[in-house]
Structure 1
Amino acid sequence: MDFLDRNINFDALLKFSHISQSTQQHLKRVYSAFAFCMLVAAAGAYSSVVFGFLQGNFLIFAGTLGTMLWLMFTPHNCENEKKRLGILAAFAFFSGCGLGPILNLCIAVNPSIIPTAFMGTAVIFICFTLSALYSRSRSFLFLGGILMSALTLLTLSSLVNIFIGSVFLFKVHMYVGLLVMCGFVLFDTQLIIDKAERGDKDYVWHCVDLFLDFITIFRKLMIILAMNEKDKKKERK
């Protein structure tokens, strides 16, 4: 049959002719820095779980926030590039250490949760990233206001739930939060493209946006899977 003889042109699938060459080069730098962040964060998470490094310590919060602010206020130029990459590595390491408590919880409940959540996060991130890249009209930029409003409501609901202690509200917060973060992958990817087209080529800071999206989705997926696993164990008893 004729359709069996047709070959899929993968090169054509990976071409983004609607994105300028300079922006494509910028995106390569962004995702290279993102891959670097993932490796450093993995090292931080490993150090936290295996060696108990900075686990549950206020220094994690201070280090993460401090390095992010340091990076934010360090100008993007050729002279500062290596310095900013070093700050980015420190930020990623502290972020990885911050996952330690949740990783330990998942290990206690069911160790298979961690690779499952990571693979799920990777699939979500790749799918939404490709959707944003293939969209020609920056059609997802309108989501910015909606996502920020949703994020504000989620933050307020989590603060209220500190006093209420509702398990149902916590679960709703996790699932809705996961959906919102998926939207942020779409929005942030297209915003990076739009900024690059306008001349903003700060690939280090753009990497931070995507890295935070990935880490947040990963964290929420682990919590959701851990909750579901606990519920299943209760039902068996």
Structure 2
Amino acid sequence: MDNQHYVGSEHVASSGLMTRVFAWMFAGLALTAIISFFVLADGGMITYFEQNMMVFYGLLIGELILVFFLAARVHKMSVATASFFFFFYAALNGFTLSPLLSIYNVGSIGVVFAITAGMFGSMALYGYVTKRDLSKLGSILFMALIGLIIASIANIFMNSGVLYWVISYVGVLIFCGLTAFDVQKIKRMEAISMDEDNHAKAAIMGALALYLDFINMFIFLLRIFGNRD
């Protein structure tokens, strides 16, 4: 019997996975934006982070741990728990993005956000329609991302202006490529039949991947095109 045609049973077709992924992603971005808006409007939290940088860096490390934890344990979680951790991460990111956003004027942030949306949308569309297998590209981009992270940490101590700009431009290229790769991977998952719980968890993890692509692309573009106050 064809599992994709079960009605109200254990398995469902995954044809709506992409729509579900983008719905989760946009919800996460909206929560991040709302949290950042209130933190910036208050100003007290920005001052607190400036005076307690170890707390700020601790939150950044906590974000990394949370992403790896969710990726490793999502299949053993309930959908409700996975949803909680996804939105908790998006909310936490709203706090940690705020000190960066406070450096730039509002108009500049809006322009860069529009540029990011355009680039992200273009690369997502490419990943969805291309016939080219991007699997090998994904492996290369992952290794490049590891190098980018190491270079970024090193530059905290080196404080090199040249390396700062190299990291920024390379970062944009990496996350443009990862966007196309992740969308193609999600598209291929639409051909897989899975039960409702796994369908929801796949949507959450796909949304997390694209959320990270968008946010990081935005950060690097802001470093390049943003106007500081």
Q: TM-score range by the shorter chain?
A: 0.7 to 0.9
Name the CA distance, whole Å, in 1 between partners of 2:60 and 2:81: 21
Name the CA distance, whole Å, in 1 between partners of 2:44 and 2:211: 22
Partner of 1:161 in structure 2? Answer: 155
State the TM-score, normalizing by the size of structure 2: 0.78
Q: 1:112 is paired with a residue of what secondary structure?
A: helix
Partner of 2:21 in structure 1? Answer: 30
Change (3 A) 1:130 1:24: farther
- Pairing partner for 1:134 from 129, 138, 145: 129
- The yes-or-no answer on 1:90 pairing with 2:84 is no
Change (3 A) 1:68 1:146: closer
Name the CA distance, whole Å, in 1 between partners of 2:188 and 2:120: 19
> 1:119: Cα distance to partner?
0.3
Partner of 2:99 in structure 1? Answer: 101
Deviation by residue 1:90-130 (Cα, 9 ceiling, x = unmatched): 111111221101110002xxx31100111011001111111
> 1:150: Cα distance to partner?
1.7
Deviation by residue 1:116-166 (Cα, 9 ceiling, x = unmatched): 11101100111111111112x352222112112222222233333334322
Change (3 A) 1:158 1:72: closer
Partner of 2:110 in structure 1? Answer: 115
Q: Percent identity?
A: 26
Change (3 A) 1:207 1:172: same
Change (3 A) 1:119 1:88: same
> 1:74: Cα distance to partner?
4.5
Query: Gaps (5+ residues) in structure 2?
Result: 1-11, 50-54
Name the CA distance, whole Å, in 2 between partners of 1:53 and 1:219: 22
Change (3 A) 1:121 1:166: same
Partner of 2:165 in structure 1? Answer: 171
Partner of 1:146 in structure 2? Answer: 140
State the TM-score, normalizing by the size of structure 1: 0.75
Greater relative CO, 1 or 2 (CA 8 Å, sep 6+): 2
Deviation by residue 1:21-56 (Cα, 9 ceiling, x = unmatched): 944301111111111111111112112211247543
Change (3 A) 1:159 1:61: closer
Partner of 2:32 in structure 1? Answer: 41
Q: 2:135 is paired with a residue of what secondary structure?
A: coil
The correspondence of residues 144-223 of structure 1 with structure 2, limited to 5 A, is 144-199=138-193, 201=199, 202-223=202-223
Q: 1:105 is paired with a residue of what secondary structure?
A: coil
- 8 A contact 1:33–1:204 mirrored in 2: yes
Name the CA distance, whole Å, in 2 between partners of 1:159 and 1:65: 14
Q: 1:24 is paired with a residue of what secondary structure?
A: coil
Name the CA distance, whole Å, in 1 between partners of 2:182 and 2:74: 21
Name the CA distance, whole Å, in 2 between partners of 1:68 and 1:163: 25
Superposition CA RMSD, Å:
2.6
Change (3 A) 1:145 1:29: same
Query: Gaps (5+ residues) in structure 1?
Result: 1-20
Name the CA distance, whole Å, in 1 between partners of 2:158 and 2:30: 38
- Give the structure with higher Rg (CA): 1
Name the CA distance, whole Å, in 2 between partners of 1:155 and 1:72: 19
